[in-house]
Amino acid sequence: MYTGQKINVQKIMGLIPDDLLSTLSKDTKVDYCAKSLYGERIFNLLLYGILTTDRTSQRTLEDLFKTDLFKTMFCYDAEMKISHSSISTRLSKIDSEFFRLVYENICKEF
């Protein structure tokens, strides 16, 4: 990680088209049987974790999800909670095709 550079997380997250994640979630049916960690939420959490921490782990992601800043940035309910084990379960079951399509669409955008 480049410690000398400042990264504006909100600016980077703002570069992702608003409807892209929701459209791809529907197209890939990635949210089928998901209770709270929908594809869009898990993507936002992973990208936020990568951009804001030196070492991303499931426990770190759990801690990030708990912060008011994260919940405010993505307009999530302040009472919403997740555990590191639910992150683990979701990551093991989510269709990686969703992430591939998100990546490809963002690359096309730029």
Is 4 inside any structural domain? no
What is the residue type of 33? C
Least Cα distance to 37 among 5, 16, 65 occurs for: 65
Number of domains in the chain: 1
Is 97 inside any structural domain? yes
Stated pTM of the model: 0.86
Is 1 inside any structural domain? no
What's the domain range around 56?
Answer: 9-109
Query: Which pLDDT tens digit goes with each residue over 43-85?
Result: 999 999 999 999 999 999 999 999 999 999 999 999 999 999 9
Is 59 inside any structural domain? yes
What is the residue type of 110? F
Q: Is it the case that residue 102 has pLDDT exceeding 90? A: yes
Least Cα distance to 106 among 21, 26, 27 occurs for: 21
How far apart CA 40 and CA 38 sit, in angstroms, is 5
Is 27 inside any structural domain? yes
Is 2 inside any structural domain? no
What is the predicted pLDDT for the residue at 25? 92
Query: Which pLDDT tens digit goes with each residue over 22-53?
Result: 999 999 999 888 888 899 999 999 999 999 99
